Structure 1
Amino acid sequence: MQSTLEKNKAIVRRFNEECLVKVNMEALEEIVRDDFTNHTAPPGFANDKDSLKTFIKYAFPNIGNISLTIHDMIAEGDKVVTYKTFTGILKAPLLGASKIGEPMELTIIDIIEIKEGRYFGHWSVRQMVQQ
């Protein structure tokens, strides 16, 4: 039987693979609570669930040949911390990167708060790199 910590990690992994890489909004509806708060929303975006959906629909389709590597994932209590990197080819300006057609790397450390099996809170540090 899977522990609560392992279940929480599976929820976060599913969000990353389904919602970010595949831009699957149906999965997002299942995973993210309506009262979700993004405490570190990107500039120009509100901190609610609808704004998260808008950002994902805007940002992730602009990374061609997207690939996700989860380097580490740590769960404690109701929080999961993930250290991950997205790589791909930039198709449109994104988070300060602007070299269209060139490789990009977006490294993120996330803290996700899980409540009743769904995303409730989010904090992150992001670094976009383009050579």
Structure 2
Amino acid sequence: MTDGDETADEEGGAQTVEERNKENLARLLEETHRENFDVVDELATEDVTTHGFFGMDATDRESYRRFYEDFAAAFGDQEFEVEDLIAEGDKVVVHFTITATHRGEVLGIEPTNERLSWSGVAIDRFEDGRVAEAWLSPDYLAILSQLGLLPDEVEA
């Protein structure tokens, strides 16, 4: 199947590969941020790899699922909003905003129980409708600033 090829959607209509990948990523993000981690088994390849995932990069489906579990443990009461989804070829770019409570250790930072909000961008590469590789770029300055970990002269 080449970029732009059509597949059948649930209603039997035509759906491009890009549309299917966008739909699958939106579902993966929605479900994992609701702590339904079983969706990873369905929507990630066996050898999925990640880059920039809060120091918790994945090298396979099990570690990818563990990232979402550990992230949920570190940041509870999540409100995850997809701001934009853009697909081209085998890649989907998502711009997101997340608000969550810092309730577990992450990046060596002990929990503060502070309510944090930040945005970010992720690029996900798909194979046969499943995430095969992902690059995450959250606004680390916003996170560190809200945790009071930046010098006064540095603003996020």
TM-score above 0.5, yes or no? yes
Counterpart of 1:11, as a letter, is N
Q: State how many pairs are aligned.
A: 130
TM-score, with length taken from structure 2: 0.73
* Mapped partners of 1:65, 1:110: distance in 2: 21
SS in 2 for 1:25: coil
* Mapped partners of 2:119, 2:109: distance in 1: 13
Structure 1: state its 5+ residue gaps: none
User: Which residue of 69, 82, 101 maps to 2:113?
Assistant: 101
Asked if the contact 1:40–1:47 (Cα under 8 Å) also holds between the matched residues in 2, the reply is no
User: Which residue of 104, 115, 120 maps to 2:132?
Assistant: 120
Q: Which has the higher strand share?
A: 1
Asked if the contact 1:80–1:111 (Cα under 8 Å) also holds between the matched residues in 2, the reply is yes
User: Which residue of 1, 6, 16 maps to 1:3?
Assistant: 16
Asked if 1:13 is matched to 2:46, the reply is: no
Asked if 1:74 is matched to 2:61, the reply is: no
Q: Comparing both chains, which one has the higher relative contact order based on Cα–Cα distances under 8 Å and sequence gaps of 6 or more?
A: 1
Structure of greater Rg: 2
Identity of aligned residues (%): 28
Across the aligned residues of Structure 1 and Structure 2, the Cα RMSD in angstroms comes to 2.0
TM-score, with length taken from structure 1: 0.85
- 1:35 CA displacement: 1.7
